[in-house]
Each structure stands twice: as structure tokens, then as C-alpha cells.
Amino acid sequence: MTLFVLKRLGVGLLTLVAASIVVFAMLEVVPGDPARLMLGMNATEDAVAALREQMGLNQPLAVRYLAWAGGMLTGDFGRSYTYPVPVIDLVAERLVVSLPLALIALFLSTTIAIPVGLYSASRRGSAADTFVMGATQLGVAIPNFWFALLLVYVFAVGLRLLPAGGFPGWGAGFWPALKSLIMPAIALALPQAAILARVTRSALLEVLGEDYIRTARAKGLPQNRVMWRHALRNALIPVLTILGLQFAFLLAGTIIIENVFYLPGLGRLIFQAITQRDLIVVESVVMLLAATVIIVNLLVDLSYAIVDPRLRVRA
């Protein structure tokens, strides 16, 4: 088990080093001068040159890479070119929005999807199953920004129950902050839940054909016990894989929903940084995300071992 974890950690570190080189090199070839972008069309050449010097853009490539990569090792992610603050502060500010949002959405999608998947698998071919399949198909097909706008028009413009968007900050109180995350979380969770429910259902159907299910039924276990204890546990591996992927997506891939609700999340930070050529922010945030994805995948791998004891022995 320890060896398994160490091995995975080693691979993760190598991936990070490779990612850092790729990210740095890629952004170097993207055209656009951050200094010129900040000063605009009427700036004189010497003002642009002065700013380039200030931003450290005139140093050789290798020096800048080493300064950046070395800094990250000591926890220093550099200072943003555009916002005059450390990158880590920017990320922290965005995480207080993105992380709760991702967790709420993940919680919603799992609590909807797993029971629905179980129910529909246990009544395969029934009218209820057909309905669930249709509804989840719809859930996958509906673009989430459209669904988000629908929510806004109903609950913010029509009923005026929830804010149309924005994030007041946790400083404004728990409830106002949470209120502004409800609609985005629902808009994010629904398509995810639809996918997850379908995966749960098909994984369960596969398991339900196994001999041990027949055995469990034969020894007289009630349907519920069979489903939750024997079937679901064995069907969890594909479900966990999807959950891991969904979490990584929810953390930073939610730019569209962030735009609809103008939430200051991580996705928008990256998008903004790319258009403003705030290279250091892009680089550092991508690295942090890469690290998160690697850690989440590691946790998913470990959870396989928890649900399936056989994997523990093999590792």
C-alpha cells in the first residue's frame, strides 16, 4: 500500500515538472507583449520599455523559468503582472468561490444521481426506468448556460428570490454568500448528475448479472441490502472515476457558468489572465490545477483500494 502511494506520488511529481516546462514554453510563443497591452495605443516606446524592465520581462528565458519554478518550490508563485498582488492571493480569493461552488455542485449531483441510478437499475425496463433514461438524456443534452439563464429569469428576474449573479463575499454573511451560489451550483450539478446517474445505472446493471448477487438474493437478503451493500459497492469504481474527473472540471472548467452569474471564480481568473497576457498568473494557476488534478486522481485511486480490497493486495 505504501509502495503504491509512493509510486503514484513520484509519477505525479514528474508530471508536474513536465507540465511546468510545457506551460512555460507554450506561453512564451503566444504573441503579445504584456507591457504594451497594459499601456495601450498611445503609450510612448520608452514608457513601454520602462514597464518591461519593471516586470522583469527583459531577462533571458532560462533565468525567468528557473526563478519561477524555484519560487514555486518555496511556495512563492510570483506577482501578477496586471493586478499588483501575489498570485497566491489572487488564487486564494478565487478559491473561496470556486471550491465551495464545486463542493456544493458535487454534493448535489451525487445525492441526486446515485439514488436515481440505483432506482432505475433495480427496475430495469420499467416505465420509471424509461423516464429516468429520457430525463438524463435531456440533462446531458441541455447546455448548462441555457439552463443557467432559465434559472436566472425565473428566480431572479421573475420571482426576485435570488440574486441574478455576483458574489458578495463570505464577509457579507454566510446566507447571502450561499444564496448567490445556489443557482450556479444547480446549473452545474444537473448535467453532471445526469451523466453520473447513467454511469451508475449501467455499472449496476453489469454487476447485477454477477453470481454473487444471485447468491445474495438466494440467501434471502432484502432487495435494499442487495442493492446498497453488494451491487453498489462493486459498481462504484467507474462512478468514482467520473466523480474525480467532475471535481477537477468543477474547480476550473466552469468559466461559462461563472460568466452567466459573473462569479469571480478560478475559471474566469485564468481566462482573464490569458487575454491580458498575465503570463505569470496563467502559469502558476495552471500548475496549481495540475497539482490538484494529480492529487484528486491519487485520492480516487486510493478510494478504489478502499471499496475493492483485492486492489490493496495487488498493489
Partner 1 sequence: MKLLKTILAAAALSLTLGTAAFAARTDLVVGVILEPPHLDPTAGAAAAIDEIVYANVFEGLTRIDAQGQVQPALAESWSVSDDGLTYTFKLRSGAKFHDGTSFEADDVKFSLDRARGENSTNAQKGLFAGIESVDVIDPATVAVKLKAPEGLFAWNMGLGDAVMVAPETAETNKERPVGTGPFKFDSWAKGSSVKLVKSDAYWGDPVALEKVEFRIIPDAAAAVPALLSGDVQAFPNAPLGDARPQLEADPRLKVVIGVTEGETLLTMNNKKPPFDKLEVRQAIASAIDKTAVIAGNGSGLGTPIGSHMSPASPDYVDLVKTYPYDVAKAKEYLKAAGLENGFKATLKLPPPPYARDGGQVIQSQLREIGVDVEIIPVEWADWLSKVFTEKDFDMTIVSHTEANDIDIYSRPGYYFQYQDPEFNELMDELKVTNDAAKRHDILAAAQKILAHDVPAVFLFELAKVGVWDAKLEGMWENAPIQATDLTKVRWVD
Q: Is the CB of 80 or the CB of 234 nearer to partner 1?
A: 80
Amino acid at 140: V
Min. distance of Cβ 252 from partner 1 in angstroms?
Answer: 14
Q: Using the rule CB under 8 A, is 175 a contact of partner 1?
A: no
Q: Please calculate the CA angle 278-284-287 and round it to the nearest 5 degrees.
A: 140
Q: Using the rule CB under 8 A, is 115 a contact of partner 1?
A: no
- Report 85-104 residues binding partner 1 (CB under 8 A): 85, 90, 93-94
- Report 51-70 residues binding partner 1 (CB under 8 A): 51, 54
Q: Using the rule CB under 8 A, is 43 a contact of partner 1?
A: yes
Q: Is the CB of 84 or the CB of 209 nearer to partner 1?
A: 84
Q: Using the rule CB under 8 A, is 39 a contact of partner 1?
A: yes
- Report 142-161 residues binding partner 1 (CB under 8 A): 145, 149, 152-153, 156-157, 160
Q: Please calculate the CA angle 100-102-108 and round it to the nearest 5 degrees.
A: 100
Q: Is the CB of 93 or the CB of 206 nearer to partner 1?
A: 93
Burial class (CB within 10 angstroms; exposed 0-12, middle 13-18, buried 19+) of 120: buried
Residues 6+ apart with CB under 8 A from 33: 48, 52, 57, 277
Q: Using the rule CB under 8 A, is 140 a contact of partner 1?
A: no
- Binding residues for partner 1, rule CB under 8 A, total 51
Min. distance of Cβ 66 from partner 1 in angstroms?
Answer: 25
Q: Using the rule CB under 8 A, is 79 a contact of partner 1?
A: no
Task: Give residues in contact with partner 1 (CB under 8 A).
Answer: 31-34, 36-44, 46-47, 50-51, 54, 82-85, 90, 93-94, 145, 149, 152-153, 156-157, 160, 163-167, 169, 259-265, 268-269, 272, 275-277
